[in-house]
Amino acid sequence: MPQELSLIDVDKPLFDLKTFTGRFQYYAWMTDPRTVLLSSDRLLQAKEMVDKYRKGEQSADLKLEEVHYNMKLYNSAFHPDTGELQNFAGRMSFQVPGGMLITGGMLAFYRTVPAVVLWQFLNQSFNAIVNYTNRNANSPTSVTQLGVSYVSATTSALIAAIGCKNYWSKKASPILQRYVPFAAVAAANCVNIPMMRQNEIIHGIEVKNANGEVVGQSRLAAIKGISEVVLSRILMAAPGMLVLPVIMNRLEKLPAYKRIKWINAPFQTLMVGCFLCFMVPTACSIFPQQCGLDTSTIRTFEPELYEDMVKRTGGAVPKRVYFNKGL
């Protein structure tokens, strides 16, 4: 077996996740949209290779590039908590193709209420899948909770979209009316993600010490993680949904562009895709996926959970605990 393979730890990322640059490189590598085109069989082969490599049962002629590529497929398609194959539409690697189609539709068809309703419905359906797929899987969610979360998020998005549309159509300039989709997306994210992950807020999520050992539960950790995810998702959509309306407002006034109106939706969809290619890894990189929280904060605001942590650790409570915030 090549000597360099003995140096690879498949459970550790190839990049330094303590820095923003390292996280950006990791998520740009891990969210590669091309991996969505691969079959489930190929992804399961990658998982099998990673599992065998972890046990020291890898093939002797395995190349370094193959190990890295299979690690990429494994990280992009399997849940970090459960190891289960994720729904392809919920993977972060599907954010560019899925997000560009839906966001392009929202930006291109915002002028009528039926169009707003249709595209917000599609967007929230997509968001529900993404939020469920990228949750902290150690806190199970019931079918009823999923349904309530979906209805609540869709309702909030429609209220924000139709409310802004009706108000801005009378009070605001045409350019400001183009921001109706972004207002709806921001409002819905503030509802959809916390509702979809409400069990984490109610019961808390597992927190671990620096060695990866579970030392307790924390609701504050869930709130911190979910808040960071909400902010990241809004920032992910912001450049495309804030800059593109300005560009389109100018383009649509050009005589040449007016003669090819059919290009409006495809052009906006393509432009959103360009923004998302950069913003998906950027937004995922703003906060570390493995978040940290001082146990002194837990002791102050969650004394009962801190006491449980003291019992679990025999009094040796770490100064800081860590948890998966999701994406």
Q: Nearest-CA neighbor of 26 among 232, 295, 285, 253?
A: 285
pTM of the model: 0.78
Residues paired with residue 216 on neighbouring β-strands, in sequence order? 207
pLDDT one digit per residue (tens) for the chain, 327 residues: 444 445 577 778 788 888 999 999 999 898 888 988 889 899 999 888 888 887 777 766 778 888 888 888 988 888 877 778 888 888 888 988 888 888 888 877 877 778 888 888 888 888 878 877 877 666 666 777 777 777 877 777 777 777 777 777 777 777 777 777 787 778 777 877 887 778 888 888 888 988 888 888 899 999 999 999 999 989 988 888 888 888 888 888 888 877 887 788 888 888 888 888 889 899 989 999 888 889 899 889 988 988 988 888 888 888 999 988 877
Write out pLDDT tens, residues 23-79. Answer: 999 998 988 889 888 898 999 998 888 888 877 777 667 788 888 888 889 888 888
Write out pLDDT tens, residues 146-156. Answer: 777 778 777 77
Residue 79, C-beta contacts closer than 8 angstroms, at least 6 positions apart: 86, 133, 137
* Number of residues that make up the chain: 327
CB burial readout 88-118, b (16+ within 10 A) else e: bebbbbbbbbbbbbbbbbbbbbbeeeeebee
Q: Rounded distance, CA 158 to CA 211, Å?
A: 45
